[in-house]
Homo-oligomer: A and B are copies of this chain.
Amino acid sequence: MNVPLTTADFCYRALTVHPTRLGIVDEPGFPGSLGRLTYGETMARAAGLIGALEKMGIGHGERVAVISPNAAKLLISLYGVTGGGRVLVPINFRLTSEEAQYIVDDSGAQLLLVDPELDERFADVRAPRRIVLDGIADAELFAPASADDDWPAVEEGAPATINYTSGTTAAPKGVVLTHRSHWLNAAAVGWGFGVSEADRYLHTLPIFHVNGWGLPLGCAALGVPQVIQRDVRGPDILRRVDAERITLLCGAAPVAATIEQAAQALRDAHEPVPGDGTTRMVSGGAPTPPAVIEHFERTTGWEMLHAYGLTETGPVLTVNRVSPSEGLSPSERAERLAAAGAPLLGVRMRVDGEGEILARTAKGMTGYWQQPERTGAALADGWFVTGDGGTFEHGTLRITDRKKDVIVSGGENVSSVQVESVLHDHPDVVDAAVIGVPHDRWGETVKAFVVLRDGVALDETALIAHCRQSLAGFKCPTSVEQRDALPRTATGKLKKYLLRRPYW
How many copies of the shown chain assemble into the complex?
2
Contact of A335 with B by CB under 8 A: no
What residue of chain B has the Cβ atom nearest to residue A195's Cβ?
A: B191
CB-CB under 8 A for A4 and B190, given A198-B323, A348-B12: no
Find chain B residues with CB under 8 A from A395 CB.
13, 16-19
Chain A 12-35 residues near chain B, CB threshold 8 A: 12-13, 16-19
Closest B residue to A18 by beta carbon equals B395
Q: Name the distance in Å between A200's Cβ and chain B's nearest Cβ.
A: 11
The one of B2, B19, B194 in contact with A196, judged by C-beta atoms closer than 8 angstroms, is B194
**Contact assessment for A345 and B9 in the assembled complex, using a CB-CB cutoff below 8 Å:** yes
A198 closest partner in B (C-beta)? B325
Shortest distance from the beta carbon of A487 to any chain B beta carbon, whole Å: 36
Q: Which residue of B lies closest to A344 (CB)?
A: B13
Candidates B4, B321, B366; contact of A362 at CB < 8 Å: B4
Q: Which of B3, B16, B196, B346 contacts A343 (CB 8 A)?
A: B16
Residue contact B345 to A1, C-beta cutoff 8 Å: no
Q: Does A187 make an interface contact (CB < 8 A)?
A: yes
Known contacts A17-B343, A196-B194; A3/B362 CB under 8 A: yes
A10 at the interface (CB under 8 A from B): yes
Q: How extensive is the interface on chain A, given as a class? A: 35 or more
A342 touches B17 (CB 8 A): yes
A382 interfacial by beta-carbon distance below 8 Å: yes
Contact: B191 with A1, CB < 8 Å? Answer: no
Q: How far apart are the CA atoms of A31 and B350 in the complex, in Å?
A: 40
A425 on the interface (CB 8 Å rule)?
Answer: no
> Do residues A348 and B149 form an inter-chain contact, with CB atoms below 8 A?
yes
A341: nearest chain-B partner, CB-CB: B17
Among B9, B19, B379, the residue within 8 A (CB) of A1 is B379
A384 an interface residue at 8 Å Cβ cutoff?
yes
A402 in the interface (beta carbon within 8 A)? no
Beta-carbon contacts under 8 Å, A101-126 to B? none
Q: 10 closest A-B pairs (Cβ-Cβ)?
A: A17-B395, A1-B364, A3-B362, A191-B191, A17-B342, A16-B395, A198-B325, A221-B345, A9-B346, A198-B323
User: Measuring CB to CB, which residues of chain A are less than 8 angstroms from any residue of chain B?
Assistant: 1-5, 9-10, 12-13, 16-19, 149, 183-184, 187-188, 190-191, 194, 196-198, 221, 321, 323, 325, 342-343, 345-346, 348, 350, 360-366, 379, 382, 384, 394-396
